[in-house]
Amino acid sequence: MPYSNSNFGIIGIEQSTNVTIYFRIVRGSVTYNNIQYSNNDTLSIHLTQFDTFYLSSHYDFSGTLVAASNPVVVMSGVCTSYLRNGWGNHMEEVILPNEQLGRDFIVPKLYDSQCNFRIFAPKHSRVRINNNSLIQYLDIQRGRFREFENYNLYTLQSSAPVQVQIYCNGVSSTNDAFMATLPSVQHFKSSYTNIQFYSSDARMGLRLDDKDILKYKIISNMTLESTLYSIITVEQSVGLHEIKQHSGIPFGLIVYGRNRASGYGFPAGFATNIKL
């Protein structure tokens, strides 16, 4: 991988797929096949099954739109990211397709202090942001994003589906930061095979590997759309685990961990074909 700050990759799934890339590069440009592309330029490519297209640049691709004639996998990230404490880490995450995005989010504070987040809007969205002390409304234009340095718990409610990415690290730790796609409330499921998670009435009925979860730490409680949610964290051994809610109440789950000069985090799963 060449040294770069921003990159994305596209993987073809079907035998023949036409892909159009609508670039958003606020500063600078990127070169592909000896052609230079700048902000608002488009690039068209063709992928056969399992073809991979990869593009990298020193300039930020955030807000770039990928449109395809058939389903594709899109991954995006940075080669090396330095968040707060100066320790660098490669970050990469699969991006949800626009038709699978949600509207309502609970942004947790993982690690001991900081979990920055970005809100990406595929189309114009008005977002209500609540951090328990201040409520504000933001208009985000199509293809744009807003970024927050997060030291508190947030709830987000959007007029249109959006994507939220979190970037977490401790205030002074030597652990690497990580990037993860945040599940919306609409993405919550009642079981995950895989392990902080946040839930509503689900907390009292959670079972880990067919045993009631009795030892956990409550991070916070908050209300979203008149529903009370609890954010809890559970220390767990390395290995494959299954978490269920015995009454079938949906809950969200993020798996994360850290050690010296290491850190990771990812969503355990998403409900698909969600209804908004």
Alpha-carbon distance of 155 to 96, in angstroms, equals 20
CA distance readout (Å), 176 to 80, 92, 142: 11, 13, 32
Query: 165 pLDDT exceeds 70?
Result: yes
pLDDT (tens digit per residue) in 88-126: 677 889 999 999 999 999 988 776 656 789 999 999 999
Query: 199 pLDDT exceeds 60?
Result: no
Alpha-carbon distance of 158 to 38, in angstroms, equals 30
Q: Which residues are paired to 181 by β-bridges?
A: 165
**DSSP secondary structure code for residue 55 in this structure:** E
Mean pLDDT, rounded, for 123-130: 95
The percentage of residues in the chain with a pLDDT greater than 90, rounded to a whole number, is 41
Alpha-carbon distance of 12 to 191, in angstroms, equals 30
More confident call, 87 vs 44: 44
pLDDT (tens digit per residue) in 56-83: 998 889 889 999 999 999 999 888 776 6
Instruction: Give the residue extent of every domain in the chain.
Output: 6-81, 98-267
Alpha-carbon distance of 133 to 106, in angstroms, equals 15
More confident call, 179 vs 195: 179
Question: Would you call 171 helix, strand, or coil by DSSP?
Answer: coil
Query: 196 pLDDT exceeds 50?
Result: no
More confident call, 206 vs 85: 206
Question: Would you call 202 helix, strand, or coil by DSSP?
Answer: helix
The pTM score is: 0.82
